[in-house]
Structure 1
Amino acid sequence: MNASLRPLLPPGPYLLCDDTVRPDMPLVAKAERLLAGGARVVQLRMKRTPVREALEVARQVVQLCRRAGAVCLLNDRVDLALLSDAHGVHVGDEDVPPEAARSLLGPGRLVGVTVRGVEGAIAAREAGADYVGVGPVFGTTTKQVPAPVLGVEGLARVVKGSPLPVVGIGGVGLDNMPWVAATGVHGAAVVSDALLAQDIAERVRLLASAFEQGRVGG
């Protein structure tokens, strides 16, 4: 598999299937609901799931995503991405370095990296990343992040200066999705706003519509 066969990251809402949000619902069930709403990107984040169970979950979620024509990325776990045949990984500040992730995954899979600004985005490109997650855009309770909140103006500055597609992360939901999309971001990561909705699939549809409205209006 070479770089020419590497999947493209679809624009729009970037949905996280997370085991810390709504833990009463199995991860596979969450993925099914996200995909039923038309999710085009699903990042599987498993911070509490035991390794053997995580591998089985990853394989099931990847299969679901592939059948739905969606991209599936594993948070941090390069090993699980390879074993489950995921489309790639997303690594953060304390995860496997992007250079190592690219080396292990080869040229045919996606590598995303969390950064805090334009300098980080430039370094991520040099390390072989395909896109960057930038944030926190807003305050978030899903994950403790030791970095200042950017706001939409700060996000727009990073989007303008980044050599890679930008996914806005941190506190993004239906209410602020149009503002985020108007910055010119490639995507917007959503966790709690989708998974805590009474109807997850409908929420995903609304998020996609709000992103499109913001992008057109912006």
Structure 2
Amino acid sequence: MNAPSRPHLPRGPYLLCDDSIRPELSLVDKAARLVAGGARVVQLRMKRTPVREALAAARQVVALCRQEGALCLVNDRVDLALLADAHGVHVGDEDLPAEDARALLGPGRLLGVTVRDGAGARAARAAGADYVGLGPVFPTATKQVPAPVLGLEAFAAVVRESPLPVVGIGGVGLGNIASVAAAGARCAAVVSDALLAADITERVRQLATAFEQGRSGA
């Protein structure tokens, strides 16, 4: 029997639906606004949400994303991803090791891993990852990151040698997403620049346009 095929990570903005930003909006409301703007990848990051509430939100967001043809990944929590039937999981520096995450996920879901350099990307591939989140590309105030800022030149160099598709992470917004795309990234992760925008849906559209301009050299 053939193993189930994993989803394909589409190019463009990779939007985080984070419970620590705009707490007056529910996770489901944030996700709905992101998807309405054309988001094709939504990562649920629920560091502050109690687990039962997080599971309920994950189920609703996954259903919304599947209905609209978008991927939904869960940050860190493999258990919640499986229970909510998410498309996969992204694990970071202090989360479950990639090998263990893959063992739990099985072959049919995406696994992303945060890395800081080319060696990390190669290790992630060996552990069963499908893509890596590489950064921080730029300074970021969204979360404390225990790694130096790469800058675009170093980021592009790692992208060129990475055996896996790269998602640029850290400090990405409308003003620099085109440069991340031009550096060869498959995706660019955006958190506060989208969620703090006056019109979240419109900002997602703007981010997608800017990413494509960067890819095409416009």
**Structure 2 equivalent of residue 47 of structure 1:** 47
Structure 2: which amino acid aligns with 1:159? V
Residue 186 of structure 2 is aligned to residue 186 of structure 1? yes
**Structure 1 equivalent of residue 65 of structure 2:** 65
Alignment partners' CA distance in 1, 2:168 and 2:55? 28
Alignment partners' CA distance in 2, 1:125 and 1:117? 13
Query: 1:2: how far off?
Result: 5.9
What SS does structure 1 have at the residue aligned with 2:174? Answer: coil
Structure 2: which amino acid aligns with 1:76? D
After the TM superposition, list the runs of 4 or more consecutive aligned residues in structure 1 that deviate by more than 4 angstroms.
1-4
Alignment partners' CA distance in 2, 1:122 and 1:217? 28
Query: 1:4: how far off?
Result: 4.8
Instruction: In structure 2, list runs of 5 or more residues that go unmatched.
Output: none
Alignment partners' CA distance in 1, 2:31 and 2:207? 16
**Structure 1 equivalent of residue 17 of structure 2:** 17
Alignment partners' CA distance in 1, 2:137 and 2:26? 28
TM-score by length of 1: 0.98
The aligned length equals 218
What SS does structure 2 have at the residue aligned with 1:111? Answer: strand
Instruction: In structure 1, list runs of 5 or more residues that go unmatched.
Output: none
Change (3 A) 1:3 1:122: farther
Percent identity between matched residues is 76
Kindly indicate whether the alpha-carbon contact (under 8 Å) linking 1:132 and 1:165 is maintained by their aligned counterparts in 2.
yes
Instruction: String of CA shifts for 1:58-109, please: whole Å, max 9, x gaps.
Output: 0000000000100000000000000000000000010000100110010000
What SS does structure 2 have at the residue aligned with 1:73? Answer: strand
Matches within 5 A, 1:1-218: 3-217=3-217
Kindly indicate whether the alpha-carbon contact (under 8 Å) linking 1:2 and 1:107 is maintained by their aligned counterparts in 2.
no
Alignment partners' CA distance in 1, 2:175 and 2:33? 21
Alignment partners' CA distance in 1, 2:80 and 2:4? 23
Query: 1:146: how far off?
Result: 1.1
Alignment partners' CA distance in 1, 2:192 and 2:154? 22
